[in-house]
Structure 1
Amino acid sequence: MLKPRVIPCLLLRGPGLYKTVRFAEPKYVGDPVNAVKIFNEKEVDELLLLDITATADKREPNYDLIGDIAGECFMPLGYGGGVGSIEQIRRLHRMGVEKVSLNSAAFRDRRFVEESCDVFGSSSIVAAIDVKKTLFGKHEVWIDDGRTNTREDPVRYAEQLAALGVGEILVNSVDRDGTMGGYDTAMLKKVAAAVDTPVIACGGAGSLAHIQEALAAGVSACAAGSMFVFHGKHRAVLINYPTPDALAQLQLAPNDR
Structure 2
Amino acid sequence: MKNTKRTIISGCICTALMFTAGAAQAIQVTLNMNTHPTDEGWIVSEDTTNQGLSFVNNGILTISTPTLGFYSFRDPGNWFANVDHSAGWTVKTRMRLVASEEPQWNVDPAGIWIDDKTNHEIFGVYADEVGFTRTYQNNQVTKLMFSIDTSEFHTYEIIGQGDIIKLFIDDLLALTRPIIGNTGLPPGQLVFGNNTGSANVTQWDYFSYTAGVPEPASLALLITGLLSLVGVRKQIKTQSKKPIENNRGQTRMALT
TM-score of the superposed pair, with normalisation by structure 2 = 0.25
| Pair member with larger Rg | 2
The structure where helix makes up a greater share of residues is 1
The structure where strand makes up a greater share of residues is 2
TM-score of the superposed pair, with normalisation by structure 1 = 0.25
